[in-house]
Amino acid sequence: MTTRVAFSFPAFLSDLRELVECESPSTELAAVARSADVVARVGAARLGVLPERIVLDGRTHLRWRLGTGPSRVLLVGHHDTVWPTGTLATTPFSVEDGVVRGPGCFDMLTGLVMTFHALASLADVDGVTVLVTGDEELGSPSSRGLIEDEARLASAALVLEASADGGALKTERKGVSLYDVRLVGRAAHAGLEPELGVNATLELAHQALAVAALADPALGTTVTPTAARAGTTTNTVPAEGSFSVDIRVRTLAEQDRVDAAMCALVPVQPGALVEVSGGPNRPPLEESSAAALFARARVLAAELGLPELTEAGVGGASDGNFTAGVGTPTLDGLGAVGGGAHAAHEHVLLDAVPGRTALLARLVEDLLARPVGRPSETTNDLQTSGAARP
């Protein structure tokens, strides 16, 4: 590997501190905009060029297109975090005994800094695109189209989300579908004439059980009714109720099966109505999408003298679901090694950072020289994006 800039721990930690100490909760547009300014400045200092600022629905995203050639390798990350402004007062940035702590350090600000330092080490990055979004923790409502469009241009997508346990790369992520089920009944006095009503609470119970039965543990499909409500007063037959449903699947076929079943729900009680809205939110990142990239990464890790790479499938989603969903080979979890995402004990293990950064650089260099083929000529674009159905 031809290196231009050697890895420097002081420079790395200085950059990471800047990002962590600029708090960036997804829900605060001004905070996300300020964070984008910091990420742009830190990235430009390492890459030698400022990014494009892309503001969609008030949320600020950054894109670096490096070199003059067409995009060939896409690196994806996000600068928004789940931590509210003020978290630094109780959980400040710190480095002690080889462990970094601070809000967002693991998910996923370390991955961003790794990206900048890895690319800065390469003599040639022509054809690399870096996309840093500002709404991933909300489900990427404004950036999804941008991510998919960039992924379609590239032959491979590398996602700098934090690793799985023990530093494992993420070669499979479950797809996510989200639904709201509304039950409509008819009100009546619960004591005088309940027989004249149609009880939305009972209908909710029937439908929640029917929905939960769509799960298939053998295939890794989870279907979970979550938040629910029904009724108005204790002496009225409920005329309306609703519940939400969280669905996780390993394959597009399972996502389609469950979607069809959700859309086919019918009322159990005479006179009741069932209305279903929502749908697939993120396609699955199937193992087949990551297989070739993971195999290549394992070889490169061995050449660099790094510990043998491991892989894992996880239930949580990322923007890697979107890049894989349009047919682009995708390898996820290339970022920090540590733990505690979204938790008070969030942390990064520093001793893994130089090797992971070197691996990322070597993988980018290799993909620029030898593009990986797509798993198929067809894409797995979702037919819906969670829009309400009639």
3-state DSSP of 174-196: CEEEEEEEEEECECCECCCCHHH
* Alpha carbon distance 111, 340 (integer Å): 15
Q: Which of 256, 356, 253, 371 is nearest to 300 (CA)?
A: 356
Let me know if 126 is a catalytic residue. no
| Alpha-carbon dihedral angle through residues 307, 311, 317, 322, given to the nearest 10 degrees | 100
Among 23, 80, 135, 332, the one annotated catalytic: 80
Let me know if 107 is a catalytic residue. no
For 67, other C-beta atoms within 10 Å of its C-beta total: 15
Among 23, 107, 135, 136, the one annotated catalytic: 136
The single-letter code of the amino acid at 228 is A
**Residue 75's beta-bridge partner residues?**
130, 158
Catalytic residues: 80, 136
